[in-house]
Amino acid sequence: MSKGAVLILGATSDIGLAVAHRFAGLGHPVQLAARDAAGLEATRTDMALRHNVEVTTHDFDALALESHAGFIDALPELPRIAVCAVGLMGEQSENEADMERAVRVMRSNYEGPASIFGHLANRFAARGSGALVGISSVAGLRGRATNYIYGSAKAGFTAYLSGLRNRLAGEGVHVLTVLPGFVATRMTEDLELPEKLTAEPEEVADAIEAALRKGRNIIYVRKIWWLIMTIICNIPERIFKGMKI
């Protein structure tokens, strides 16, 4: 893997930071992008000193679609790899009751990430190289009563990544879809998660780096989630609609 710059979208997230450290540790320059880039200054300094690589910070708002093209233009260089760790779960009950909350979750997990990846895809295709890594979720593989607002947005993003991968297959641009199950992050800290099914952010980062190196298209973190979701997706609808899982 060449040592080109790696762009982390959603760099204040636990997964985004873990991925940034993983690639910085391999000698890649890192571009950290988030809504509050100023708040990443301590992280930037630590990462640059620890890994002896160039680290820059950039303001990025996934929901400000009109700013996405200019954001890319302002980067010190077009990255070799772009990783989207942008996401918002919210509480399902609150999302059901408040449509503004629901729309924000949908836009944060699908519309914003798809928009910035669309711009990057065009730049990468024109260059003839690059990799786009979209962190989606197993929650998008079947709508479930307990998180269908979040899950529906992730379903859209997963489908988008699939189509983008198909479109770019002959243009030198690789698209990787990452499907984590439970991950121990600030977003899930109030949930009681089963230990054997819950990955650490560093585990996600390691899986992404290995998948890019091996040219993988879709990965589950952890692998047991492939089996779990295969079972869930094959439950007949007449039974599934009464399960409330």
- What does the pLDDT look like over 88-111, one tens digit per residue? 988 888 899 999 999 999 999 999
The stretch 41-47 carries a mean pLDDT of: 95
Q: What percent of the chain is modeled with pLDDT above 70?
A: 97
The stretch 77-87 carries a mean pLDDT of: 97
Give residue-wise pLDDT tens across range 147-168.
999 999 999 999 999 999 999 9
pLDDT for 14 beyond 80: yes
In 42-129, DSSP assigns E strands to: 55-59, 81-84
Q: Is 242 helix (H, G, I), strand (E, B) or coil?
A: coil
pLDDT for 242 beyond 70: yes
> How deeply is 206 buried, as exposed, middle or buried, from its count of CB atoms within 10 A (0-12, 13-18, 19+)?
middle
Give residue-wise pLDDT tens across range 162-207.
999 999 999 999 999 999 988 987 766 666 777 888 999 999 999 9
Tell me the pLDDT of the chain averaged across its residues. Answer: 94
> How deeply is 198 buried, as exposed, middle or buried, from its count of CB atoms within 10 A (0-12, 13-18, 19+)?
middle
For the chain, the domains span 6-240
The CATH fold assigned to 6-240 is Rossmann fold (3.40.50)
Q: What percent of the chain is modeled with pLDDT above 90?
A: 84
Please give the pLDDT value at position 195. Answer: 80
pLDDT for 1 beyond 70: no
Cα separation, 156 vs 181, whole angstroms: 17
The stretch 107-123 carries a mean pLDDT of: 98
Output 187 or 63, whichever has higher pLDDT.
Answer: 63
Q: Do 12 and 36 touch, CB atoms closer than 8 A?
A: yes
Q: Which amino acid is at 133?
A: V
Q: In what order do the strands lie in the sheet with 218-221?
A: 55-59, 30-34, 6-9, 81-84, 130-135, 173-180, 218-221
- Residues that are catalytic: 150
Please give the pLDDT value at position 40. Answer: 94
> How deeply is 144 buried, as exposed, middle or buried, from its count of CB atoms within 10 A (0-12, 13-18, 19+)?
middle
